[in-house]
Chains A and B, each alone.
Chain A
Amino acid sequence: MAGKGLATVLLAGAALAAVPGGSATAQQSRDVQRQIEELRQQILRQQQTIGELQRRLEELQGEQTRTRAKVEEGAEQARRNVVDQPLVQSGSPRVRVAVTGQIDRLLNLADDGKQTKAYFVDNNVSVSRLRVTGTAELSDKASIGTNLELAISPNNSAEVSQIDEAGGQRSEFRKTEGIFKHTDYGTIFFGKGDPATKDITRIDLSGTDVLAYPATGDIVGGLLFRDNDDDLTGTTVNNVFTDFDSGRQDRIRYDTPILAGLTGAFSYGSDQRWGAAVRWAGTGHGVEAAAGIGVQDPSAEDIDLVYAGSASILHAATGLNLTAASASRDQDDGTGRLYYVKGGWQHRFFDFGTTAFSIDYGLDEDTPGNGDDGTTIGLVALQNIERYGTELFAGFRLYDLDPGGGPGTQTIYVGTAGTRVKF
Chain B
Amino acid sequence: MRRLAFLAGLLVSLAACSGWRPMEVPTNSDMKPGPGLFTGSSGAFVLTAPR
Pairwise interchain contact A309-B7, C-beta atoms closer than 8 A = yes
Which candidate, A32-40, A58-66, A95-103, is the interface stretch facing chain B? A95-103
Tell me, yes or no, whether A224 is within 8 Å of chain B by CB.
Answer: no
Once the chains are docked, how many angstroms separate the CA of A93 from the CA of B50?
7
Closest 8 CB pairs of A and B: A261-B22, A282-B20, A98-B44, A262-B15, A284-B20, A281-B23, A202-B28, A99-B45
B interface secondary structure, majority: loop
Q: Give every chain B residue within 8 A of A198 (Cβ-Cβ).
A: 27, 29
Per-residue interface assignment for chain B, residues 14 to 38, with 1 indicating a CB less than 8 Å from any chain A CB and 0 otherwise: 1110011111111111011011111
The minimal Cβ–Cβ distance linking B46 to chain A, given in whole angstroms, is 5
**Separation in Å of the A176 CB from the closest CB of chain B?**
15
A131→B45 contact, CB < 8 A: no
Smallest Cβ-Cβ distance to A86: which chain B residue: B47
- In chain A, positions 281-325 with a C-beta closer than 8 Å to chain B are 281-285, 288-293, 295, 307, 309, 312
With A293-B8, A295-B4 already in contact, 11 other A-B pairs whose C-beta atoms are closer than 8 Å: A90-B47, A92-B49, A98-B47, A100-B43, A101-B31, A198-B27, A279-B25, A292-B25, A293-B7, A309-B7, A312-B26
Scoring A residues 216 to 227 as 1 if CB is less than 8 Å from chain B, else 0, what string do you get? 000000000000
Cα(A262)–Cα(B14), bound, Å:
9
Contacts of B16 in A (CB 8 A): 260
Q: Is the CB of A263 within 8 A of B25?
A: yes
Count chain B CB atoms within 10 A of each CB in A102, A388, A422 and give the residue with the most. A422
Number of A residues with CB within 8 Å of any CB on chain B: 62
Contacts A94-B49, A258-B22, A295-B4 given; indicate if A199 touches B27 (C-beta within 8 A).
yes
Q: Complex: how many Å from CA A295 to CA B1?
A: 9
Chain A residues, CB < 8 A from B26:
203-205, 281, 290, 312
Q: Which of B15, B31, B45 contacts A280 (CB 8 A)?
A: B15
Q: How far is the CA of A166 from the CA of B21 in the complex (A)?
A: 48
B15→A259 contact, CB < 8 A: yes
Residue of A nearest to B5 (CB): A293
Bound-state CA distance A421–B16 (Å) is 38
Q: Could you say which of A96, A282, A307, A423 contacts B3, with CB atoms under 8 Å apart?
A: A307
- Taking CB atoms and an 8 Å cut-off, the chain A residues in 225-276 that contact chain B are 258-263
| Docked-complex contact A423 and B50, CB < 8 angstroms | no
Contact A422 B23 (CB under 8 A): no
Determine whether the beta carbon of B47 is less than 8 Å from that of A97.
yes
Interface residue? A278 (CB, 8 A): yes
Residues of B within 8 A of A92 (CB): 49
Interfacial residues, chain A to chain B (CB-CB below 8 A): 85-86, 88-102, 125-126, 129, 131, 194, 198-199, 202-205, 209, 213, 258-263, 278-285, 288-293, 295, 307, 309, 312, 386-390, 421-423
Cβ-defined contact, B28 with A386, below 8 A: no
Most buried by B among A92, A93, A100: A100
Q: Which residues of the partner chain B approach A285 to less than 8 Å between Cβ atoms?
A: 19-20
A282 pairs with B15, CB closer than 8 A: yes
In the complex the two chains form, what is the Cα distance from A292 to B26 in whole Å? 10
Q: Are A280 and B25 in contact (CB under 8 A)?
A: yes
Task: State how many angstroms separate the Cβ of A145 from the closest Cβ of chain B.
Answer: 13
Cα(A198)–Cα(B24), bound, Å = 16
Q: From the candidates A89, A131, A209, name the one contacting B47 in the complex (CB within 8 A).
A: A89
Q: What are 11 contact pairs spanning A and B, CB under 8 A? A: A94-B49, A97-B47, A99-B44, A101-B31, A209-B28, A261-B21, A282-B22, A293-B11, A312-B26, A386-B34, A422-B35
**Is the Cβ of A422 less than 8 Å from the Cβ of B36?**
yes
Tell whether A95 pairs with B35 under 8 Å between CB atoms, given A260-B15, A281-B22, A293-B11. Answer: no
- State whether A98 touches B45 (Cβ < 8 A): yes
A292 to B4, CA, bound (A): 10
Task: Find the B residue at minimum CB distance from A421.
Answer: B37
B11 in complex: contacting residue of A94, A199, A262, A288, CB < 8 Å: A262
Which residues of chain A have C-beta atoms less than 8 A from B32's C-beta? 422
Please determine whether A95 and B48 come into contact, CB atoms closer than 8 angstroms. Answer: yes
| Chain B residues in 8 Å Cβ range of A280 | 11, 14-15, 25
A194 CB contacts on chain B under 8 angstroms: 29
Contacts of A131 in B (CB 8 A): 31
- Residues in B with CB closer than 8 Å to A278 are 8, 11-12
- Find the residue from B14, B23, B39 having the highest chain A CB count within 10 A: B23
**B6 to A: closest C-beta gap in Å:** 10
